Amino acid sequence: MVLQRGIQDSRRRRKTFLEGPAYYYAFSIAMLVATVGFVVFVSRDKGNTFIHGETAPKAETEAEANVNV
């Protein structure tokens, strides 16, 4: 609603919607939101270690690990 109203107002004034400082503020805010979202995602991600060609869980002993190679 607000965005649509802003676009309509800018058309009436024959001015582009994101002009001047508003252009940089819009993308700065978008980058800030993306950064915060990334930090939240990374803090909750456990992460996994994958070894090329390995599909089963890691072997418990070295002897079992050498058999799979």
How many H-runs (helices) and E-runs (strands) does the chain carry? Answer: 3, 0
Residue-level pLDDT at 60: 60
- Which pair of tokens denotes residue 8? 């309509």
Residues 33-49: tens digit of each pLDDT: 999 999 999 998 887 77
The answer to whether 10 and 17 have CB atoms below 8 angstroms apart is: yes
- Which pair of tokens denotes residue 64? 């079992």
Taking 70 as the pLDDT cut, the residues of the chain under it are 1-3, 10, 14-17, 54-69
Residue-level pLDDT at 39: 95
Read out DSSP for 25-49? HHHHHHHHHHHHHHHHHHHH-----
Residue-level pLDDT at 51: 77
Domain spans in the chain, listed from the N-terminal domain onward: 20-44
Question: Would the pTM count as exceeding 0.85?
Answer: no
